[in-house]
Structure 1
Amino acid sequence: MGNNMELGYEMFCYQCEQTAGGKGCTKLGVCGKTPEIAGLQDLLIFQIKGISCYAKTFIEQEQHVDKSIVTFIENALFTTLTNVNFDADAHVKLLRQSQEIKETLKSSVGEINNPTYHATYKLPNDKNEMLKDAYIAGIMYDSSLDPDIRSLRQTVVYGLKGISAYGHQARELGFYSDEVDDFYITALEAVTDDRLTVEDLIRLTMRTGEMAVEIIKQLDDANTSVYDNPSPHTVNVNIKKGPFIIISGHDLKDLEMLLKQTEGTGINIYTHGEMLPSHGYAGLKKYPHLIGNFGGAWQDQQKEFDNLPGCIIMTTNCLMRPRDSYKDRIYSTNVVGWEGVKHIEKKSDGEKDFSPVIRQALELGGFKEDIEPHNILVGFGHEAVLSNAQSIVDAVKSGHIRHFFLIGGCDGARPGRNYYTEFAKLVPNDCIIMTLACGKYRFNKLDFGEAAGIPRLLDIGQCNDAYSAVRIATALADAFETDINGLPLSLIISWYEQKAVADLLALLSLGFKNIYLGPTLPAFISPNVLQYLTDTFNLRLISNAEDDIKTCLRQAV
């Protein structure tokens, strides 16, 4: 593969928090994304915008778009999310499908109102020719574009990428939202429309937040309907003797299929990363060989997986470049991929065959001895917390609980994230910490004790369980006869990739104010857009843990 200029494409990506120099990756993605992959991903987003220009016609006629097309758009968005897919062949396959879909829609729809180049562009079939065209899809291709327009368009697209991850997981369990499915298409078409003003795009951005709320509600309904509501459960975070498979990501259906197929084999199943909260679901923790959780957050996987005597399955992000020491024993599935990594496909009936993973895990033999168990507590979803709502309200009114801190979000490798560990350690003993997403690995093995008989650390779940946090906040607001901003609650959010963007937009669309965000502000937010968010929602950048805690407690008085 040649350099950027040989590709006819200048790589530029700033969708994640760790983007180079806090401005944008131009030579190689910090995530490991090459210019080749970046070009193919930009072109794939360009193509689904073109598909949406045609598909919007059906929505204007009050018809729903064929679900196979919606699923394709959703999977294309998810494929381009940070740390998901680095396999060029997988992208080329999707791109070829995108052109087939676009041409089929064009034949069906005919002339459209907004025939932008996204709609009229004809994708070549050859990968090298695709890469020569990739420049037209680059974020900075139109150098004359108003920076606030570009900022808001990208914010919407990144919000859609986050929504697509949640939508994919819900759809795997048979749940979806027609409203969200339609919005993928109307929003992707809207970001191609040069007639839309900054004010129009601000409204679209807030609408993206509303759709994020809708999709995390759908996913919560899916998970709790299929696997029951999470309940408090202790999870061993040390290893046990015997063969094993580690399963990482977010997809509970994949975990369930793996648990069923490994029953009676003697293989232990460990969760990893964002799969940790699955131990709280009755429908999953009933399997005795779901033995515990392995390792910490996603960014530690390379050293933690190094020379492991077992297998790993990656169901969603975050995948990092596999080292040679374990590349032969790591598997991907769904839209996840890396060149040379074995992939488990879904069969026509929706099931997957994990037998190659199972055979290899048995051959490898696993860990040779136990390490003394060390347990952490998970499973504090909205049902578990709100079943104790009255005692929580009483404890606050009596002064035994002073404040709640939601410390959650994505983790990452860049320096500065120790802030969240320091913050958790400095939270006063009469305050409760709620946490969700992989940011919790910064402090979830610490002993915080109890306050008023309630564990001071409540693990609400995955990043998509932001809905649980919303449900808890709104229910407590009702109990205290106030609104969500009148609660003794502060939100301390860490962000890394686009699911966090969707979650932030969801919170803003619900009216949450005074959110602390870090470690840095998004590079794709222009100064004027940032000023709007600051003025409207008092969104603020984290400073230092001690001062921020004091400010939160002072504002709550």
Structure 2
Amino acid sequence: MFCYHCQEAKKNIVCDVTGICGKKENVSSLQDLLMYSIKGLAFYAHKSLELGIIEAKTDQFTAKALFSMVTNVNFDPADFVALITETNQRRNSLRALFLAAYRQAHDTEFAETIPEEAQWQFESATEADFITKGATVVIDKEHIEDEDLHGLQECLLYAIKGLASLMVHAHALNSEKQELYRFIYAALSYTLQPNNSLESALAMNIECGEMGLSAMAMLDQANMAHFGQQQPTQVYKDVWEKPGILVTGHDLQDIEELLEQTAGTGVDVYTHGEAITAHAYSAFKKFFNLAGNYGNAWQDQRTQFSKFKGPILVSTNSIQQQKKDYKDKIFTTGMVGWPEIRHIADRKPGQAKDFSPLIEQAKKCEAPTLLTEGKVTVGYAHHALTELLPAITEAITQGDIQRIIVLAGCDGRHKERRYYTQIAEALPENTLILTAGDNKYRFHDQDLGTINTIPRLLDAGQSNDFHSIIVFLQALQKSLALPHFNDLPVSYNIAWYEQKTIVMMLALLSLDVKHVRIGPTLPPFFTPNLLQNLADQFSLKGIDTVENDTAAMLQGL
């Protein structure tokens, strides 16, 4: 086992026996083999696109398969056996189409070197055989010839997984872009090439950041088309007397369908983690059974879920191993999976998912136990931010706003993440904070006050709503008549945890943003030499003490 694609890798180096997340060695091997197989599929998909061959079902499958490997999404060996099997079947089918088309187009056989990943065939599709094969394709740290290049290519692979997750969410709302699939195939094929350079690998990562912004924009448009605009909304954190169902994750369509199916049943629906953003969309205002938000970010679920009393729906990533006395109340859906946890099947065309198992169970449960009280405000996506643009522009011009600090990203378990709470507390009263993702749980319940009636804390939404922050800041640049994006009085402090936050980082680098901070630790796949190169080119850096970082950010450093 060799896994270091999340911020909680053991000792910030690697999980080599079992994952901090709960991933076992068998699942790690299956994920390694799935990525190996997807690279082989991508080889032929990339070549096929050059001949005009597009297989839409394979495109969509590839994105889902990549999404399954995002941190804390799927831990079920059976799911990975099925994904590996289908990946190889689709590769073989595409291979046959490509070879025939190539022969017809060039009047000769395809004779380029074919990488091992595109040749591998299995004799039996069993978990044991796949685990054995997966153990042969795991990262072998001792035989990496160029650690800097390897680090950048690993960064690219992890970002592609995050990109794919955005694409899956958008496709569920009937939105997709062929250019994103093209990029994924090109990037995966790139990693199969020998003799890549550090410069080309960095360029591919930067392009992935551009594609990430494009995917975020696509998902944003899909969400608005289906659910309306986000509006500044106060969300209550207390509980009501009815039993409830708790939804954690990012999938808004799941929440909508669950609300429709629970209406009039005497069962309330609560959000958890990044699902809190649902409260801000206009389409959800009509649901009186959308009761509030329960608990904090994903990492607290093992202590908080049992107190909820009712069933839990995990709609996207961030599932953890549940305690035995509560395991029977956890349901997964979409690409999420855990052995022996009940799974809600995907919706059929033109139909909703069937959430009746959760609803029937909820009716027999007690009401949730109160965890916290009070309320928080969400809904400052780019529509609401745009409405504040004149006031923010004037406040900056008059000196009432000294600096805007972007504190975005993903939360996690490590105690070092108290840094983000302390940063929010330490920033002076003439600074604005923009946030997206569940890192907001480190500070969103603080009363940070206002600047000329502008709330000092503006929550744009989920991690994909980072796009809203960028769109607003680009509009602010124009409003302030600044020649360059880096001339804005803005500092970026990104809390990375998993693959979507890697996309955030690369998105900023694609915009040539300088002085981005990544914390609470730097990615372990970034070598010292690679970090130095990124520091030289982008002034990318890790975090320091709260005092030093607060002073530096206020100076634009």
8 Å contact kept, 2:240–2:367: no
Deviation, structure 1 residue 137: 2.0
Q: Deviations over 1:22-51 (max 9, x none)?
A: 110100011100000000000000001000
SS in 2 for 1:86: coil
Q: 1:538 to 1:64 in 2, by over 3 A?
A: farther
The aligned runs of 1:482-493 (5 Å cut-off) are: 482=482, 483-493=484-494
CA distance in 2, matches of 1:405, 1:144: 38
Identity %: 35
Partner of 2:114: 115
Partner of 2:72: 83
The aligned runs of 1:152-163 (5 Å cut-off) are: 152-163=152-163
Partner of 2:310: 310
The aligned runs of 1:250-269 (5 Å cut-off) are: 250-269=250-269
Q: 1:43 to 1:142 in 2, by over 3 A?
A: farther
Deviates more, 1:480-489 or 1:42-51: 480-489
8 Å contact kept, 1:53–1:112: no
Partner of 1:95: 84
Partner of 1:3: none
Deviation, structure 1 residue 372: 8.7
Q: 1:178 to 1:213 in 2, by over 3 A?
A: same
Deviates more, 1:481-490 or 1:290-299: 481-490
The counterpart of 1:41, out of the listed 28, 31, 35, is 31
CA distance in 2, matches of 1:336, 1:112: 40
Partner of 2:106: none
8 Å contact kept, 1:307–1:325: no
CA distance in 2, matches of 1:331, 1:282: 27
- Calculate the aligned-residue CA RMSD, in Å: 1.5
Q: 1:290 to 1:108 in 2, by over 3 A?
A: same
Deviation, structure 1 residue 548: 1.0
Partner of 1:545: 546
SS in 2 for 1:418: helix
Structure 2: gaps of 5 or more residues: 100-109
The aligned runs of 1:129-528 (5 Å cut-off) are: 129-140=129-140, 143-306=143-306, 308-349=308-349, 351-367=352-368, 374-482=374-482, 483-528=484-529
8 Å contact kept, 2:53–2:98: no
Q: 1:221 to 1:106 in 2, by over 3 A?
A: same
Deviation, structure 1 residue 144: 4.0
* Large movers: runs of 4+ above 3 Å: 370-373
Deviation, structure 1 residue 197: 2.0
The counterpart of 2:47, out of the listed 57, 63, 69, is 57
Deviates more, 1:388-397 or 1:416-425: 388-397
1:432 partner letter: L
Deviation, structure 1 residue 367: 3.4
Deviates more, 1:121-130 or 1:79-88: 121-130
1:353 partner letter: D
Partner of 2:107: none
Under a length normalisation based on structure 1, what TM-score does the superposition of the two structures give?
Answer: 0.95
Q: 1:235 to 1:401 in 2, by over 3 A?
A: same
**Between Structure 1 and Structure 2, how many residues are aligned?**
544
CA distance in 1, matches of 2:113, 2:421: 49
8 Å contact kept, 1:307–1:326: no
8 Å contact kept, 2:237–2:372: no
Under a length normalisation based on structure 2, what TM-score does the superposition of the two structures give?
Answer: 0.95
The counterpart of 1:15, out of the listed 5, 29, 34, is 5
1:94 partner letter: L
Q: 1:78 to 1:215 in 2, by over 3 A?
A: same
Partner of 2:58: 69
Deviation, structure 1 residue 278: 1.3
8 Å contact kept, 1:53–1:114: no
Deviation, structure 1 residue 149: 2.1
